[in-house]
Structure 1
Amino acid sequence: MTVPAGGSAPQVCVDIGVFAYNEEAQIGALIADLARQTIFETTEVDLQMLVLANGCTDNTVGAAEQALAALPETVAARIRVLDLEQGGKSRTGHRYIHELSRPSAEMLGFMDGDIRLPAPRALLQMVQRMQADPGLRAFSSRPVKDVVHDDLPVGTMARVIAMGGDGLTDFRKSICGQLFMLRGQTARRIGLPAGLPVEDGFIRAMTLTELLSAPEDTDRIDGDPEIFHVYESIRSPLELIRHQIRIVVGTAVNAALFRRIRRDAPTEEAAHGMLMQAAEDPRWLRRILQEDLPVRPYGYVPFDLLTKRLKAGPRRGLRGRVVLALGLVLDLVAWLGASWRMWRGQGAGHW
């Protein structure tokens, strides 16, 4: 911690990375939301924000800089826009953790460039919750669909889609990749191989298990229903199918990586070394998948990804049963689609 001018209470050093890939249309609105966050007003936090425009082919950088120019100098001075030539969220996440964030940062925030932050205290509350519980390694914001938050007139199909994923995961025990915080020392033990389709699930596993060297400890992660962000809900069935295939591919990729890490790097130090080396080799992930897959009896994608809705518990009422049935059909389509992609060698890459 650093001591602010005047010798008052020590500050906590916090860096927040805003991951932006072709977010020209959305990044200005998010920066306006950020400017209203009370974390900029408090003396408790030594704050730096980095807009990580990675591999963009639109005017994300220009839109972000234009939005910054409209902010008070006291806010704009703590936000930097970085134009990174290479894209990919896991590659950018690794650079953010190990190269671009300040070595003194005690907490690292991760935020998508297309979300909204309606509550002005959200970021400060996340930091305060981490400070209040030294045992926490990670803290996630609660994701809220815009269809629900804004009560949008989007039609029946979009509302059914919005209801379909409810109850499948507990956000308080998950890493929500759209907005979360990690302890700096925890993050710096994690190397992120380029091309991870679902990097938040990978980060969660590494955080809760000391890089797979210990049993999972879910007390290391938490969230609060009152601390939330809003994201754009999926509207169409085709978009939903593509999204679910990506999630299933990412989960299957992570399962393969976890087997390799446990086999070849069973200690925390060995796993750290493996992952840091892997992050320097853009072909590493693809090579691991070629060597380790398929696996008997399921091939490329574990069977349990087909049954996660049933394990989540029964749905009540006719509407609940209809949503469950549609969800099971979606899971089957996504499982088949993911298996096809991975059979074709398309598991790793820029999503």
Structure 2
Amino acid sequence: MSINKLNISIGIVAYNESGSISKMLHSLFQQSLFNEPDSDMVVEIVVVSNGCTDDTAIVAKNTLKELINPSFHTNVHWRVCEIEQPGKSNAWNIYVHELSNPTADYLFLMDSDIQLLDPQTLRSMIHLLETRAEAWVAVDKPIKDVTLKENKTLMDRLSASVSELSGGKAVEGGAAWICGQLYCARAQAIRRIWLPTKLPTQDAFLYTMIVTDCLKAVKDPNRVILAKSASHVFEAYTSINRLLRHEKWLILGRTINELIYSEILADGNKQQDVGSLIKQRNEQDPLWLNKLIQAAIKEKGWWLISRFVLIRRFQSLLHKPPQKAVVLFPLATIAFLADLVLSFQANLEIHQGVEFGYWGKQAK
């Protein structure tokens, strides 16, 4: 093997996705990366089945055997790895630090229930990192499946409208947010990061670690860039209960992330490497996050949710054209009232989680 070959590792994290992972893998092999193999590139696919109680691993193995033609895909290697412990953060840590090719130049992380849309998506993300030295992570455009429907129901329209209240939208080649469903990172950058194994949401934590160089530098949004002609489709929440539950989980995740950042930036930890610190905490004390939240409650009192959560909907309107902001104002008001209720529920769940030691255990 030539030392000049580009090594790509694709990690697919799956939990009880036997019904969707085959379709996802078929969409993966519609990518030009696999239809037009490059002799100067070596690609590995690692499916990480974590704590599954269904046939996810078996379906993945059978599908990959079907899709990969050894005489054609001579540069493609694959594995399906089963780990007992459930939890996306734990699976992420194991893939990034143990299972992925140690000589990989770039690591893709993707969920097992998405559909890759543009056939150039993966190549475009790699190309961006190859040509934009300032970028550490390349992302694509996540598209809700309901936006592609010709005849949308009221809930479809509501689900699509909620996205309009998420702030400014990225443009191709510009700074963007990390969507945990699919992204490509420079191996040396992503391997400096370890996730707390009981982290509610990974996207915001990863984004912060990347743009601040693990909290060591001023935020640089240009470390995360939206690639050209890159997109995937995901299933949108189209029921009120699922939509509200998802929003509550995001509020809860943001709150816990902020507590972790404060802990990392505390005087006694400032000089330590953040990745090593979190890895050490994970290994030495499975209840460290639980204890951190307990300490925060003792210091801050009962209410832990940040003020930003309650004003974010109206702040997002500042990035919209005046006419668009006026149209969205009623929806922003309704979203604010929902956030208010969800914030109380999230705050209560954090306290209940501490009481039962939930933040020191893996979610199933």
TM over 0.5: yes
Partner of 2:292: 288
Q: How does 1:197-216 map to 2 (within 5 A)?
A: 197-216=200-219
Give 2:127's aligned amino acid.
Answer: Q
- Aligned-pair CA distance for 1:313: 1.6
Distance in 1 of aligned mates of 2:105 and 2:206: 17
Contact 1:197–1:249 (CA<8 Å) still a contact in 2? yes
- Aligned-pair CA distance for 1:167: 4.7
Partner of 2:340: 332
Partner of 1:53: 49
The correspondence for 1:238, drawn from 237, 241, 252, is 241
The correspondence for 1:33, drawn from 13, 27, 31, is 27
Q: Cα gap change, 1:189/1:298 in structure 2, threshold over 3 Å: closer, same or farther? A: same
Distance in 2 of aligned mates of 1:225 and 1:12: 20
Distance in 2 of aligned mates of 1:324 and 1:253: 24
Contact 1:117–1:228 (CA<8 Å) still a contact in 2? yes
Contact 1:208–1:217 (CA<8 Å) still a contact in 2? yes
Give 2:224's aligned amino acid.
Answer: I
Distance in 2 of aligned mates of 1:181 and 1:217: 18
Q: Cα RMSD over matched residues? A: 2.1
- Aligned-pair CA distance for 1:345: 2.1
Distance in 2 of aligned mates of 1:336 and 1:45: 50
Contact 2:118–2:229 (CA<8 Å) still a contact in 1? no
SS in 1 for 2:114: coil
Partner of 1:68: 64
**2:126 equivalent to 1:127:** yes
- Aligned-pair CA distance for 1:296: 3.4
Distance in 2 of aligned mates of 1:215 and 1:298: 31
- Aligned-pair CA distance for 1:298: 7.4
Partner of 2:158: 160
- Aligned-pair CA distance for 1:69: 2.5
Contact 1:142–1:225 (CA<8 Å) still a contact in 2? no
Contact 1:248–1:305 (CA<8 Å) still a contact in 2? yes
- Aligned-pair CA distance for 1:350: 1.9
SS in 2 for 1:73: coil
Structure 1 runs of 4+ aligned residues shifted over 3 Å read 74-77, 169-172, 294-298, 314-319, 346-349
Unaligned 5+ runs, structure 2: none
Number of aligned positions between the proteins: 343
Contact 2:317–2:328 (CA<8 Å) still a contact in 1? no
Partner of 2:149: 151
Distance in 2 of aligned mates of 1:121 and 1:21: 27
The correspondence for 1:178, drawn from 181, 186, 207, is 181
SS in 2 for 1:312: helix
Give the fraction of aligned pairs with identical amino acids, expressed as a percent: 28
Q: Cα gap change, 1:42/1:167 in structure 2, threshold over 3 Å: closer, same or farther? A: farther
SS in 1 for 2:273: helix
Distance in 2 of aligned mates of 1:191 and 1:156: 41
Contact 2:189–2:210 (CA<8 Å) still a contact in 1? yes
Q: Cα gap change, 1:117/1:332 in structure 2, threshold over 3 Å: closer, same or farther? A: same
SS in 2 for 1:68: helix
Q: Cα gap change, 1:187/1:141 in structure 2, threshold over 3 Å: closer, same or farther? A: same
Question: Normalised by the size of structure 2, how large is the TM-score?
Answer: 0.88
- Aligned-pair CA distance for 1:67: 1.4
Give 1:151's aligned amino acid.
Answer: K
Q: Cα gap change, 1:124/1:225 in structure 2, threshold over 3 Å: closer, same or farther? A: closer
Distance in 2 of aligned mates of 1:199 and 1:93: 9
Partner of 1:305: 309
Partner of 1:42: 38
Q: How does 1:220-259 map to 2 (within 5 A)?
A: 220-224=223-227, 226-259=229-262
Q: Cα gap change, 1:67/1:260 in structure 2, threshold over 3 Å: closer, same or farther? A: same
Distance in 2 of aligned mates of 1:36 and 1:256: 42
Q: Cα gap change, 1:304/1:15 in structure 2, threshold over 3 Å: closer, same or farther? A: same
Partner of 1:16: 10
